[in-house]
Structure formats: structure tokens, C-alpha cells
Amino acid sequence: MTQNGTSCSVNNTTTDPVPTPITRHRPRRHLSRKLLYHYLISKFAYLILVPLLAVASLRLSNLTADDLLALIRDHLHNNVVSVTISSTLVLVLSIIYLLRRPRPVYLLDFSCYKPEDSRKVTREIFMERSDLAGTFTERKILERSGLGQDTYFPEAVLNVPPNPCMAEARKEAEMVMFGAIDELLAKTGVKPKDIGILVVNCSLFCPTPSLSAMVVNHYKLRGNISSYNLGGMGCSAGLISVDLARQLLQVHKNTYALVVSMENITLNWYWGNDRSMLLSNCLFRMGGAAILLTNRRSERRRSKYQLVHTVRTHRGADDRAYRCVFQEEDETGRTGVALSKDLMAIAGEALRTNITTLGPLVLPMSEQLLFLATLAAKRILRIKIKPYLPDFKMAFEHFCIHAGGRAVLDELEKNLELSDWHMEPSRMTLYRWGNTSSSSLWYELAYSEAKGRIRKGDRTWQIAFGSGFKCNSAVWRSLRSINPAKEKTNPWKDEIDNFPVHVPKVEAIASRN
């Protein structure tokens, strides 16, 4: 790997030799008519209030202090009943608001698991092990995957011959979960006994006792802990876990919620040769994340982010969407996860539904007015016009899009009109770590932190897709600027200077000698 951030190899050839320009700094907004319009609408209230305040100040400047006191006394004397009722009403409404308003949820810190170097798998090693197992004849899938040479596999899959069994699957789960949690507890200084809520999600590995019970047993968590184990919910289960923890933190006072997101490969490697099921072998890699949330107001000062919104979209009522990611046996009886050809179209529909709900919560008034104007022109005036796609760059500084695959990232980059800079965390995560399922969003956020991009007040949009079919979003606001030099641990810490790298659209796999 060269210093300028491009990837090269003696054994590998590419069909895309000319690197695209890499943007290393936050993109600047150039002055344009749209930006001018945005500022005028966003500052409209100030433009109206300033003249009114000026007129009011001018009128009040002609009154003396005695005139003001006399005016107040006369008003109170003549309107005692109305003033009393109004004051009481304001007091009652204020108390109701304070009692009913949701408790703020803070993200104290998070940690991503980084496996040992001995579990690294290059594309050549992947093909070698697949050939020995008699699987994966579709080399083109891997060549177009967007994965690099430093992703990770569990030991059971790398062994020759492979050894997929329950004991090895538990070993992988313990290694990933405990590795991430140990690092998180060391970073935050929170004691296991202080954790009141535990949510663990893993889609395809659901042993008995559960993974959440495994965590409770290992860390000797307290007996009255509210623990949940989510299975079969796909790559978006991490945000479902965050949303569940958020709701529980509205009920349980003054506590911490530990969220653990991972996927298990050992028992879910596809050993057949059905092309629709081989993509998961190509993309999924070993990884996991632990996230610590809290509703303690005293922890706001040292927390990194505040959870602003969660939006969940489920299209399972549609049979086509329900079956687009489906675990089943192939013609030879081998179990795998089949991906439908309609997957991208269904993901687009789920995304549109999700952003329709999220848009009014986060978009500035200028974007909402443009959307409503085009909608009215199309439906009321019957004008043939394309629906206006809001500019979400007006609402967010950072985007963490689930690194489910190159096709997913390409489609969202196009639909949301994002720049290379905005897509960089997602593309580099796919290249460096592969698809780590529900934990990929946290490797992406860790990338932005390691690059020193997170500043106080920045808003980050996490968005993920999952089987079912689901599209889920979470919006975070940074409570402080993140200085990467002061971070104790970060999975990118020792190699962040090598990124971003150019990822060819097709990268040939070196043949074995």
C-alpha cells in the first residue's frame, strides 16, 4: 500500500487502473441559488422579528421606569382573575411537560472488536479454502465485492478441513462479544453491576442458553437485569437493539444499557454452490460491537453522542419483500441465505418509506417546502414532474450506511446524491472489515472518529437494511468534538493514515502457483 492511499499488488490486476479523486476534507458548500434560498427560509423568523423588536424598543425607549410600573399595576388591578387563571394554566402545563417529556438517551462510548492477525483472510486464501471445500465456483462475485485483503474469518472456517460445530460457534461468539465488551468497560470505567439493561442481537446463531445469558454469566451481571436476545432480524438488528434500549431507558431510571451487535459465521457458512446463496459467503466477515447507553443526566458531560431519533420501517406484509432475504435449503439440502434479484428494488422502496417518516423530523423548513411544493404540483395540479428528493446533506454532516455490499452503497450514493467524502466511511469499512452485519455501522462511525471528523454539534445518520424486509435509522448529535489522539482504543487507530484507498470496480484474484 502506497503513502498516497492507493492499493497496489504484484499479483493482482485491475480493470479500473485510473483511481478516482479522493476527497480528504469535509466538502465545502458553494454559494448557489439553492443555498441562498435555504438561508433565507431558515432565517425567516429572524428577518421578521428584528424589525418588530426594533419598533418595540423604540416605543419602550420613550417610557420611563415609573410609566412602566404604573402600566403593570393598572393591568394587574383590572385583570386579577385572568392573570391568576393564566399563571395557573402555564404552571400546570409546565409541570405536565416536564413529567411527560422523554428522558434524554446518551451514548457514553462504544467499542468495535478487532480480531487477531492470525484470522486475516485474503481473497486468495478465501478461494483456496472454498476450492478445498468444493464450493464457490463464481469467482466474479468476489472480484466485484469491494472487499480488501485484511478481513477476518473465525478459526473453524479457516481450518483445513473446516470444523463447523456448536463448540466452535460458541468460541467465536465469546471471542467477539467479550472482546468488545471488555474494551468498552475499560474505556468507560462502568462496573458490570451498574448495567441494568442488556440487549444482544445476532441474526443466525441462537443457542440455548442465549447469547445474552452468556454475557450475564461471564460478567456476573445483577439478578434483576432486563436482558433481551434478538435473533433472525438481519443486518438492521443493531439499530432495533438501540431503539429497544431507548424505550427501556424511558422506564428504568438512572441506569445503563449495554447493546451488543454481532453475527456468527462458524455455523452459518454456506457449503453449497447455489449462486443466490454464495454472495453471503463472499461478503460476511467476523466482527462485532458493544455500545453503552445511559439516561443519567450526570453522564452527559463525558458522553460522546445523544440519541435524537430512531425510525423503523417494516415491509414484511409484502410477500415479495418478506422473501427477498430468505434462509432455506438448496437443491442438495445444504442450508444458506438466498438473496432475491428484487433485493435492491425492495431496499429502495423501504428506504423511501423510512425517509418519508424521518424527513419532517430532521430536514430544515426550506427542504420541506420544496418537497411539499413538488408533491402538490404533481397530485393536485396534475403537472408531470419528478418528486423532489430532499437534500439530506442539509440535515446531516455524517452518513453511516450499512456496508452490506458495493451495490447497496452505490445505490444509496446515487439516490441520496452523496459525495465520495460522505460515502468514505462505508466504503472503507466494507473494504477493510467486510460486511460485519449489524455491527458495521459502528466500524463506520469509528472511522469518522479516527479521521478527526466528528465535531461538537455534528449530526450523524445511521441507516441499515435487514431481512424481513426492514429499513431502520438512528440520528445522533455529537456532544463534543472527538480528538482521535485522546481515544484509548479504536479499531482503525494503527492504520487510519493508510485510508482512504482506491477500490477498483473489479479486482482480479491471483491464481495459485
Tell me which DSSP letter residue 63 carries: S
Pairing of strands 256-262, 195-201: parallel
Which of 314, 324, 422, 471 is catalytic? The answer is: 314
Which of 264, 435, 472, 490 is catalytic? The answer is: 435
d(CA 23, CA 420): 7
| Amino acid (one-letter) located at 256 | Y
218 belongs to the catalytic site: no
Cβ atoms of residues 434 and 285 within 8 Å: yes
Residue with cell string 441559488:
33
Phi-psi region of 507 (alpha: psi -120 to 50; beta: other; left: phi over 0): beta
Contact partners, residue 220, CB within 8 Å, separation at least 6: 192, 193
3 state SS of 226: strand
Tell me which DSSP letter residue 388 carries: P
Residue with cell string 477493510:
432
| HEC assignment per residue over 46-106 | HHHHHHHHHHHHHHHCCCCHHHHHHHHHHHHHHCHHHHHHHHHHHHHHHHHHHHHCCCCCE
The cell for 32 is 448557489
d(CA 32, CA 38): 10
Tell me which DSSP letter residue 395 carries: T
Cβ atoms of residues 146 and 281 within 8 Å: no
Cβ atoms of residues 141 and 282 within 8 Å: yes
Total residue count of the chain as it appears in this document: 513
Residue with cell string 478487532:
114
282 belongs to the catalytic site: no
Which of 402, 472, 490, 502 is catalytic? The answer is: 402
Q: How far is CA 114 from CA 176, 283, 317, 488, in A?
A: 8, 17, 38, 14
398 belongs to the catalytic site: yes
402 belongs to the catalytic site: yes
422 belongs to the catalytic site: no
Q: Render the burial of 215-237: b for 16+ CB within 10 Å, e for the rest.
A: bbeebebeeebbbbbbeebbbbb
Contact partners, residue 78, CB within 8 Å, separation at least 6: none
| Amino acid (one-letter) located at 409 | L
The cell for 163 is 470444523
Helix axes 406-415, 420-433, angle to 10 degrees: 170
Beta-sheet strands, E only, within 74-140: 106-112, 120-121
Tell me which DSSP letter residue 13 carries: -
Positions annotated as catalytic residues are 235, 314, 398, 402, 435
